Amino acid sequence: MPATSPTLNVMILAARKAARDLRRDFGEVENLQVSKKGPGDFVSNADLKAEKTIFEELSHARPGYGFIMEESGVHEGKDKTHNWIIDPLDGTSNFLHGIPHFAISIALEREGQLVAGVVYNPVTDEMYYAEKGSGAYFNDKRMRVAGRSRLSDAVLACGIPHGERAGQDAFANEIKTLLPKVAGVRRFGAAALDLAYVAAGRVDGFWERGLSSWDMAAGVVLVREAGGVVTDLKNTSNFLETGDIIAANDVLHDRLLPELG
Comparing C-alpha atoms, which of 215, 83, 195 is closest to residue 128? 195
- Cα gap 190→228, rounded to integer Å: 19
Q: Is 25 annotated as a binding residue?
A: no
Cβ–Cβ under 8 Å, residues 111 and 100 = no
* Pure H helices in the chain: 6-27, 45-61, 92-96, 168-178, 191-200, 213-225, 239-242, 250-260
What pLDDT does residue 39 have? 43
Task: Say which CATH topology domain 6-142 has.
Answer: Fructose-1,6-Bisphosphatase; Chain A, domain 1 (3.30.540)
Residues of the chain short of pLDDT 70, as ranges, are 1-3, 30-43, 165
244 in a known ligand binding site: no
Q: What are the tens digits of pLDDT across the range 165-194?
A: 677 888 899 999 999 999 999 999 999 999
Q: Give pLDDT, residue 32.
A: 60
Spell out the residues 6+ positions from residue 14 whose beta carbon is closer than 8 angstroms to its own.
Answer: 53, 54, 57, 58, 61, 106
What is the CATH code for 151-260?
A: 3.40.190.80
Q: In the prediction, which pLDDT does 43 show?
A: 60
Annotated binding-site residue? 87: yes
Which segments of the chain belong to CATH 3.30.540.10?
Answer: 6-142
Question: Is 89 labelled as part of a ligand binding site?
Answer: yes
Short-list 152, 154, 153, 107, CA closest to 132: 107
* 70 has binding-site annotation: yes
Q: State the pLDDT at residue 183.
A: 98
- Tell me, what's the pLDDT at 40? 45
Report the alpha-carbon distance of residue 27 to residue 71 in Å, rounded: 22
pLDDT for 138-172, tens place per residue? 998 999 999 999 999 999 999 998 877 677 888 89
